[in-house]
Amino acid sequence: MGWLSWERFRCNVDCDKDPDNCISEKLIKSMADLMVSEGFKDAGYEYVCSDDCWQSMTRGPDGRLQADPKRFPSGIKALADYVHGKGLKLGIYEDFGYLTCEGFPGSEFYLQLDAQTFADWEVDLVKFDGCHSQLTDFDYGYPAMSFYLNKTGRPMVYMCEWPDYLNMNGIMPNYTAIRKSCNYWRNYDDVQDSWDSVLDIINHFGNNSGNFSSFAGPGGWNDPDQLVVGDFGLSPDQERVQMAMWAMMASPLLMSVDLRNIRQESKGLLQNKYLIEINQDPRGIMGTRRYTKGSIEIWTRPLTPPGQMATAFLNTGYHGVPRKLTVTGVELGLQNYVKYNIYDAFNRNKIYDSVIVSDNFTVIINPTGIVMFRIENV
């Protein structure tokens, strides 16, 4: 859980004309400040991460990466100190190729040195991209960076774009190998600030090619990309969908929003403790799409202790009228000889008391909206 600059701030390097929104230590520090003062830290968000464009265009005379001196005048080590002083952790971006996606120096030929640099700077998370490199090198390169990061002795979360690039090129990722090297990994396209993009990602995860959901678990996670909750493109219903589905999918929950002017409703959703509890469930089993009924997708996620689960009803339609759906206990995954209480997953209000497998349940789901249950055996 944390905050990542990319989706909201992209590669804005123009601090002369846009000092408040360019990628800079000022921006990262102000987000760190707000993560604490606005309750995001207390809600569980811990990593504050710069994506691409933090760098200088050249390496230093010692071959080391260096931050852009104008936008990060104090350097990354000082930034890490600042972030640590807030009780948070710092994430940083690099790329396996010879350049980053935006054209800054990449790690090719420098894997070990860059890993050591990040450790020396006391970075806590490395997002490792795959632009400007050979697909055929990935099976070597991503594990190599993992090896060098581990070799530094500093624990750093290691995020890989590895399967995303393979998927883009029609190659089935080897998730066994990926999980061995990476702590989390992007499976699919970059999220954009639109419902179409969020739904497209949900459906890639629902289709679950390569059965990658089974690889999620403590130590390694599928990443459907950043939350765009609080940005410009989602309706209140659609924001609820993203937050709830990202919880269902055991996603890393990386916000990418301007915390200086986030709407109250969006903030409350990002800090929803019931959804976060589901997201952070200790067993770490990823939710999957069980089936589809017309425009409704039904997803379930087993929770801790066994017998508990979350069930989401996602309405992908935009046809004006909330959709009413009646489902059976069997369809919800209820079992014989067990009684269940059913709660609204958003607020923990009990909706049904001591229900059994033969009962029916009616849900009303807004267009591009979601209803989500948390189900517990009595």
Q: Which residues bind a copy of itself (CB under 8 A)?
A: 6-10, 12, 17-18, 21, 192-197, 228, 231-238, 256, 263, 318-322, 324, 366-369
Specify the residue, 182 or 191, whose C-beta has the smaller distance to a copy of itself: 191
Q: What is the C-alpha to C-alpha distance for residues 286 and 252, in angstroms, rounded to an integer? A: 11
- The least CB distance from residue 10 to a copy of itself, in Å, is 5
Cβ count near 56 (within 10 Å): 16
- Given the complex with a copy of itself, which of 107 and 266 has the nearer CB atom? 266
Query: Residue 337 is encoded by which pair of tokens?
Result: 């000889």
Pick 42 or 265: Cβ nearer a copy of itself: 265
- Of 176 and 261, which CB lies nearer to a copy of itself in the complex structure? 261
Instruction: Check 190, 258, 344, 359 and give the catalytic one.
Output: 190
- Spatial contact of 374 and 274, defined as CB atoms under 8 Å apart: yes
Whether 13 and 23 have beta carbons less than 8 Å apart is answered as: yes
Question: Smallest Cα–Cα separation from 10: which of 19, 20, 1, 21?
Answer: 21
Nearer to a copy of itself, 252 or 369 (CB): 369
Q: Which residue has the tokens 């049904």?
A: 352
Contact 208, 290 (CB under 8 A): no
Choice between 28 and 278, CB closer to a copy of itself: 28
Report the nearest approach of a copy of itself to the CB of residue 48 (Å): 18
Find the shortest distance in angstroms from Cβ 8 to a copy of itself: 5
Q: Which residue has the tokens 């830290």?
A: 41
| Least distance between a copy of itself and beta carbon 235 (Å) | 5
From the centroid of its chain, how far is CA 276?
Answer: 12
Q: How far is the CB of 66 from a copy of itself (least distance, A)?
A: 25
In the complex, the smallest distance separating the C-beta of residue 14 from a copy of itself, rounded to whole angstroms, is 9
User: CB under 8 Å, gap of 24 or more: what pairs does 137-142 form?
Assistant: 137/96, 138/96, 138/162, 138/165, 138/166, 139/174, 139/177, 141/96, 141/111, 142/96, 142/178, 142/181, 142/182
Least CB distance to a copy of itself at residue 287 (A) = 23
Is the CB of 24 or the CB of 256 nearer to a copy of itself? 256
Indicate if 190 belongs to the active site.
yes
Q: Which of 333, 352, 329, 332 is nearest to 342 (CA)?
A: 352
Tokens of 109: 């030929």
Catalytic residue among 51, 68, 129, 281: 129
Of 145 and 234, which has the nearer Cβ to a copy of itself? 234
How long, in residues, is the chain? 378
Q: Is 352 helix (H, G, I), strand (E, B) or coil?
A: strand
Closest distance between a copy of itself and the C-beta of residue 318, in Å? Answer: 4
| Coil, strand or helix at 93 | strand
Q: What is the DSSP string of 164-199?
A: HHHHHTTPPP-HHHHHHH-SEEE-SPPP-SSHHHHH
Instruction: Indicate which residues carry an active-site annotation.
Output: 129, 190
